[in-house]
Chains A and B, each alone.
Chain A
Amino acid sequence: MRTVADLGIGEHGFISGFTDEKLSLKLLEMGCLPGTEVILTHHAPFGDPIAIKVSGYTLSMRREEAATILINQK
């Protein structure tokens, strides 16, 4: 399963689900809804955390948290 953590800079995907129930509420509230497009825009130095564009704004999270967001490429 591909996750947001697998994206390279400039790549995008569509959220299909979450693997961590506790984090998922926070992510949902922040606008990471199933079906929404995410684009990876920045890596912090050393590749972690990352920043994504989602629902019209920029959201940062750690790589391990990004790995809980499942995506598909369509």
Chain B
Amino acid sequence: MAKIPKIALIGNPNAGKSSLFNTLTGLRQKTGNFPGVTMDKLTGMWELGPKNQIEILDLPGIYSIYPKSIDEELVINILGNPAHPDYPDMVIVVADASNLKRNLLLFSQVRDLGIPTVLALNMIDVAENEGYVINSIKLARELSVEVAEVNAKKGIGVNGLKLSVQKTLENRFASNDGLPLPVSDELIDEIQAAFGEVDPYRCLLWLMEHDRMKMFTKAQCDVLDQITVKHDFEPKKYKSAETVKRYEFLTEVVDRCVINLNRQWDAPPVKTWTDRLDKLFLHPVGGYLFFLAILFVMFQAVFTWATYPMDAIDAGVAFLNDWLKGILPESTFRGLLTDGLIAGIGGVLIFIPQIAFLFFFISMLEETGYMSRVMFIMDKLMRRFGLNGKSVVPLLSSVACAVPAIMSTRSIGSRKDRLITILVTPLMSCSARLPIYTVLIALVVPEKNTLFGLFNLQGLVLFILYLLGFFMALFSAYIMKLILKAKEKSYFIMELPTYKAPRFKHVSYTILNNVKAFVFEAGKVIVAISIILWVLASYGPGNSMEDASNRIKIQNPNLSGVELSNKIAGEKLENSYAGHFGKFIEPAIRPLGYDWKIGIALITSFAAREVFVGTMSTIYSLGGEIDNENATIKNRMRAEINPQTGKPMYDLALGFSLLIFYAFAMQCMSTLATTYRETKSWRYPLIQFGYMTALAYLSAFLVYQTLS
């Protein structure tokens, strides 16, 4: 079979690259990790013709091939290295026609690397509305490449793009103007002698950016450094001069290929929708109010609308479990399947509606261009706390899940800002905490309306918990700002894109990809833990489990059926391995008001906090289902008596102590693994784990001691 050709999509952020990717590949997408708000590459298949498949690679948006942040590095690591597994056979540069000159800068750099290139002109309608008419045939001649006019959003122009791609693939024609600015021949010769014959511009890329490229060994970097010194080559000066030179050339090209109707008619500049909307969204008071209103709607959706599908999933899983219990003979396997595996999978599936809602909002905010306004109005505030306007996106996304949130920090240019954002992001209350909050609040906060009946008291407490997470994140960031040292200055030079109507197809792909990633990535961990927990809770040392069962039968001769088996389950749990673990840590958590049963839940949720509710329902002998009437788990927990005081176990003090503990504690293996991967060091996940656990313990201690 012939090798499938690879095409990389390159372009400025907001040029419509991702729309084009979705148009070309449809659902034939393979996701790397958490895409969407994150900065990983995406691949998908494009059917050029019958039996003619092409692999499309969507890369992060960049303004030039000289990277300024981690997400941008990915692009030169692929385009600069022919040995890279993702090195493309050709590149489609997607350019926003309404901002042609700046988009062509990147195009001219990519083309000079010596990779066959096609230029896809997107958003021509926008350019024409603004009074610019582009002669793309002339442009193709001037730049000596194939130019295709496309409307990525509506999917117009795909056939023309196919033709251009086919032609370019057949000819394998890489037009190349040589170097934008001359350098000495010996310099290029030396690089080529050491690393092989490649285009001179690629040689310079290696020379100037080898620190950021993974293809070079330490020794090779030294060689490149020596060449730099020997020839008195100044990368910064060269890059600046090159950029100016390219713009000079492109200004001439654009002048010849674009007619500006405004200038001809002497028309006043058009007042665009973007200008009008910015008057509101960037208003010193109105801007913040609007942002708060959006947050409010977002939370409303997650806390109220999402509960309907969640209840449905819950009921479905419970039904399946009961059904399996009904048809399968009682055995260890049945227990493992129903209470272990299916309960575990149910615990993953239940989060889907909330994650879907959150990513719906986040991708809508990004799609429309509003997210960058949020960064703009929040930058000054965030900066005081050692963060950056761009930290808003990770902090907001981590309300869904900290894993994609931490990955989205890659767009933050300054290392210190990025590190602090990574470290404090898990303090935001993620969707895994929500079921815990829900159960505990229902238990200890009375259900009544306050503030003229506008707000539900339980809802208010929930909202306060989220705020608490946010303020603790700010506070921790401030402390870290004082401790961590910055190597470079942070900066905030960022495009404010024009407002666009959201592309619902794109939004739905983002939701789909994120849900998929959550189910498969996080799901693996949760299911594994559920199984381990089931084993630990079902077996005990020696004959202790048998003994427990017999003991209950003798003590309660009158009981039968469900009640008896519940009692037995409870006694068994106490004597299981899990019970022993819980009792072992009981002295340490006594000051927080917890007993060994909660201890078991704490231990199991140290790997993934979402296990808490499942554990609680196992512990309180509910056979793994929270489902058969949510009231049941509430009532069971409410009926639990504190053996020392004789009063209900779950009083206000214990409830809030637990709530605070779960709000601050670092109980997520996936997050720690992501922090490790993103910082490439064990130091930061350890710091993260350490400070958050200490914070959780101390706060829970204070709350319990004050309230009890």
Measured between C-beta atoms, what is the minimum distance from A35 to chain B in Å?
10
Find the A residue at minimum CB distance from B282.
A42
A44/B102 contact (C-beta < 8 A), A59-B494, A65-B492 known: no
A56 close to B98 (CB less than 8 A): yes
A45/B99 contact (C-beta < 8 A), A51-B376, A59-B496, A65-B492 known: no
Measured between C-beta atoms, what is the minimum distance from A14 to chain B in Å?
15
Measured between C-beta atoms, what is the minimum distance from B288 to chain A in Å?
7
Q: CA A49 – CA B9 in complex, angstroms?
A: 32
Cβ proximity bits A25-62 to B, threshold 8 Å, 1 near / 0 not: 11111110110000001111110110100011111111
A25/B389 contact (C-beta < 8 A), A57-B495, A62-B491 known: no
Contact residues in A for B233 (Cβ distance below 8 Å) = none
B377 close to A45 (CB less than 8 A): yes
Chain A interface bracket (under 10, 10 to 19, 20 to 34, 35 or more)? 20 to 34
Asked whether B553 is an interface residue with its Cβ less than 8 Å from the other chain, the reply is: no
Chain B interface bracket (under 10, 10 to 19, 20 to 34, 35 or more)? 35 or more
Measured between C-beta atoms, what is the minimum distance from A29 to chain B in Å?
4
Asked whether B243 is an interface residue with its Cβ less than 8 Å from the other chain, the reply is: yes
Asked whether A16 is an interface residue with its Cβ less than 8 Å from the other chain, the reply is: no
Asked whether B194 is an interface residue with its Cβ less than 8 Å from the other chain, the reply is: no
Measured between C-beta atoms, what is the minimum distance from A72 to chain B in Å?
18
Find the B residue at minimum CB distance from A24.
B240
* 8 Å CB contact of B240 from A25, A30, A42: A25
Q: CA A32 – CA B98 in complex, angstroms?
A: 17
* 8 Å CB contact of A59 from B287, B288, B493: B493
A60 close to B376 (CB less than 8 A): yes
Asked whether B606 is an interface residue with its Cβ less than 8 Å from the other chain, the reply is: no
A56 close to B99 (CB less than 8 A): yes
Q: CA A64 – CA B247 in complex, angstroms?
A: 25
A29/B494 contact (C-beta < 8 A), A49-B376, A55-B101 known: no
B496 close to A58 (CB less than 8 A): yes
* 8 Å CB contact of A26 from B68, B101, B389: B68
Asked whether B173 is an interface residue with its Cβ less than 8 Å from the other chain, the reply is: no
A61 close to B102 (CB less than 8 A): no
Asked whether B284 is an interface residue with its Cβ less than 8 Å from the other chain, the reply is: yes
Find the A residue at minimum CB distance from B490.
A62
Q: CA A58 – CA B246 in complex, angstroms?
A: 21
Q: CA A70 – CA B98 in complex, angstroms?
A: 27
A45/B380 contact (C-beta < 8 A), A26-B68, A29-B243 known: yes
Measured between C-beta atoms, what is the minimum distance from B656 to chain A in Å?
35
A29/B105 contact (C-beta < 8 A), A21-B240, A49-B380 known: yes
A60 close to B102 (CB less than 8 A): no
A46 close to B380 (CB less than 8 A): yes
Q: CA A3 – CA B376 in complex, angstroms?
A: 20
Interface residues of A (CB under 8 A from B): 21-31, 33-34, 41-46, 48-49, 51, 55-62, 65
Interface residues of B (CB under 8 A from A): 63-64, 66, 68, 98-99, 101-102, 105, 236-237, 239-240, 243-244, 247, 274-275, 278, 282, 284-285, 287-288, 372, 376-377, 379-380, 389, 491-498
Known: A24-B240, A30-B102, A58-B278. 12 other contacts (CB 8 A): A21-B236, A25-B236, A26-B491, A28-B244, A31-B101, A31-B102, A44-B377, A44-B379, A55-B101, A56-B101, A61-B492, A65-B493
19 A-B residue pairs with Cβ-Cβ distance under 8 Å, sorted by A, are A21-B236, A21-B240, A22-B236, A24-B240, A28-B243, A30-B102, A31-B247, A33-B244, A42-B282, A45-B380, A49-B492, A51-B496, A55-B101, A59-B494, A59-B495, A60-B493, A60-B494, A62-B491, A65-B493
